[in-house]
Amino acid sequence: MKLRSYQQAAVDAVYDHLRNRDDNPVAVLPTGAGKSLVLAKIASDAVGQWNGRVLILAHVKELLEQNADKVRRLCPDIKVGLYSAGLKKRDTNTPVLVAGIQSIYKRACDLDPFDLIVVDEAHLISKKGDGMYRQFLADCKVINPHVRVIGLTATPFRLDSGMICSPEHFLNQVCYEIGIKELIRDGYLSPLISKAGVNRADFGGLHLRAGEFVSEEVESLVNDDALVSAACGEIVELTADRRAVLIFASSVAHGRRVVEVLRENHGIECGFVTGETPAGERDELLSRFRGDAPTSLIETEPLRFLCNVNVLTTGFDAPRVDCVVMLRPTMSPGLLYQCVGRGFRLHPGKENCLVLDFGGNIERHGPIDQIKPKDKAARPGQEPPAKECEKCHALVACGYANCPECGHPFPPPEREAHDAQASEAGVLSGEVTDTEYDVQDIIYRVHRKRDADEDAPRCLRVDYMIGLERWQSEFICIEHSGYARRKAEAWWSERCLDPCPSNAEEAVDIAGSGLLAATETLSVRSISGQKYDRIIKQTLGDIPNAALEEAPF
């Protein structure tokens, strides 16, 4: 087995770190990049070249089997043991031991000392507290104070505590990192495309518990019969040319309903795996979904659709997956990455992997190649309890869309200048999405840049309502000069028979009198990873005739 160039670079970076520093390194490689081969090379070198003893830790049996297999294939002369209750193995004295942390975390003293410990999915090591990894690694360091720890992960951060490397942690510095887009560019990972689900719930009002959406609230939203039926219909339509569709549901009840709707409404068999699925049934479903050769005389057809609840996020290797469906929201950027990562791997005939996001996750966290832990110190300020009507100056609760005193419509919530909420976020940065919307309402108002002087030129701000609580804004530089003013004049002449005013308030008055042609549709361009959307095209209604509007009847 020959390592790819970036895999060898990761190995070399780990060795360089171990030689020149006294602490413990982390190598960051995306899901599907072959971390198992990297750790296998490190383990085989440690035993074969330096006569050391190596422990490889992971948390699911699929990773244990993968890692043990890679070491055996890379170096068949080295004896590799397994310690896992789930695999019914209790090896203890082999040069390389692959172990499940749940089975071994209390038994460090029962094993001979290790010189090197490699932790797969190293982001699972908590930076604080007494978790299984921390307890076990602390015991190993008592047994051998010189033991070195190497971490491998695709996501070097945790939702609760940020980056996993720090001077006081077991893991101290990232020594090597390669990105998703680099590996896609070089042909090592599958290209990704994405689409936001149309039939999705509004998750804006959900509460958080322990950093994640409250499960009962999510359940009540996503398990609505009409929503599930509509979403399943959309999934079937968009995956007609896909060979392996992996669905992430929010709960067992939700997943069962999805499976039922696919079967009853569309005649599609969809497997279902949860933490309670018996091992034999689970293995059979995963084998059919992966397209493995049958192990018995009974012929079974490959499974195109597989739904799961919180079990196939790590350690599940199915290269033929060419569509990942997120039917659940999550506040965890790491979980989103792991779910989407099931579609990273290459497979013959697989052109790309489609990511269907019904949970608003990509909009929430951004492109997965730019995911970073959020700065907890930078919390947005709370919304004020009341707002003032700009027409009658009544103070009313913030929940009102129109003033209860005079009926004046409130503008959409203030964002940073030129800010517009992305409509369909791309799964990778740089992905361009053009979306056409029907315009449901238009609000005109005077806009002055934040922190600008009182005599600074103002704009005509136009807010277009293009969905439920979704607005797109543009800013017409009425009071500016030069090129900005010429653009404003061109914009105005397409909509009004009167000359373009030089005062923003006058422009608002004319617009409020109904003398501007209404915008009927907008085409909005979103570039994933960029902060603002942009209007690229509009269709307009007829220009009102001022003389006809004022003629008496």
Residue type, 183: L
pLDDT for res 423: 43
Does residue 381 sit in helix, strand or coil?
Answer: coil
DSSP string of 185-237, one letter each residue = HTTSS--EEEEE-SS----TT--EETTEE-HHHHHHHHT-HHHHHHHHHHHHH
**192-373 shares the fold of 5-179:** yes
- The CATH fold of domain 5-179: Rossmann fold (3.40.50)
pLDDT for res 386: 47
Report CA torsion sign: 220, 221, 222, 225.
positive
pLDDT for res 315: 75
Buried/exposed 400-436: b ≥16 CB within 10 Å, e otherwise? eeebeeeeeebebeeeeeeebbbbbbbbbbebebeee
* CA–CA distance, 454 with 81 (Å, rounded to integer): 75
pLDDT for res 430: 74
pLDDT along the chain (553 residues), means of 10: 91 95 93 90 92 91 86 88 88 91 89 92 79 89 93 82 81 92 93 85 83 88 92 94 96 96 96 92 92 67 92 85 95 88 93 92 82 54 48 50 63 46 62 82 86 83 81 90 91 92 91 90 81 86 67 43
Residue of 346, 343, 339, 345 whose CA lies nearest to 371: 339
pTM of this structure? 0.71
pLDDT for res 267: 95
Top-level CATH class of 192-373? Answer: alpha beta
Q: Which two tokens stand for residue 252?
A: 């067992």
The answer to whether 242 and 323 are in contact (CB under 8 A) is yes
Cβ neighbours around 75 below 10 Å, total: 20
| CB within 8 Å of 220: residues ≥ 6 apart | none
The answer to whether 300 and 220 are in contact (CB under 8 A) is no
| CB within 8 Å of 4: residues ≥ 6 apart | 34, 188
Q: Which two tokens stand for residue 125?
A: 């090591």
Domain-wise residue ranges, the chain: 5-179, 192-373, 431-540
